[in-house]
A and B are shown apart, each in its own frame.
Chain A
Amino acid sequence: MKSDNMVEAVNVYRELSSNGRRLPILRGISFTVSSGEWVALTGPSGSGKSTLLGILAGIDKPTSGSIRVGGYEISAQSENNLARFRNQMIGIVFQSFNLIPTMTALENVEAPMYIHPNKRSAQSQAVDMLRQVGMSDRLHHLPHQLSGGEQQRVAIARALVTRPQLLLADEPTGNLDSTNSKQVMQVIQEMSRRMNLTVIMVTHDSSVASYADHCLHIMDGRLAEQEPEKPPRLPVSQVIA
């Protein structure tokens, strides 16, 4: 259900300095994403997709321009405010899963809760979230004991345990085979539906991009728009293996 804008980017520039030269990565990108919408960011390698995702996640800052997420201007916030923003308002899923290797699945999912205002129910919420992504029988496994698809599901649970408003996914199926890719996408789809999430997902894969409501195509740091081919939506019972 579409409502007010979740993300508003206005004239976002991002430049890097390298050996005294200024390298433009993003060149005046402007777009909006409505609440509950699923947007795919596509484009060739080096086009600036990951950089844009990083800015949206608050782990990078634009050189100029404005970014508002959930009405919150993040382009000029302090480090601590951005940290709080990352914890409470967004969740991030990476291509390489990026689970903490010395912590179990449950511990990984609990981790963001211990600095969240709802920390009291950290463990129960973590257990519940793992159940929702179909990992309730792997709570105490370490990441190296899980398959790629299982690790990504844990990463999704970790990203969503704090009930964020925005889910950012960077090539979530990039390291998975087609079967696991499909499963992971269906998990994201189902969870976004349940939680009324706004999703912004970077992908090269057109079949993954087809899950999105629409695409933002980035080329040489600039934006073009195109509509994806939509996949069929499956019932929950077939999503959670």
Chain B
Amino acid sequence: MADVIQIQVNGEQRSCRADATVGDLLRELAIKTERVAVELNLEIMDRKDFDHRSLKQGDRVEVLSFIGGGAPVEAQGKGRGFIRAK
């Protein structure tokens, strides 16, 4: 059995195989890679690297996509979908 590591995906703890790549993680989550942005430890990834970048213990992954919005509603800034630098 492959070793298991702990990572954080969109703020939630998750375990995955120690040899998994970012691409593997997205497939496991059934996330289509078109039109998503992935931030790994606060650095935005080039989608070409998804299948080459292995995950490491404690990595923090953010997966984002487009949702309805235009004029922001006040709640949007506080919702669970929002990530903040500060």
A and B are partners in one complex rather than unrelated chains: no
Which residues of B line the A interface, CB within 8 A? none
Which residues of A line the B interface, CB within 8 A? none
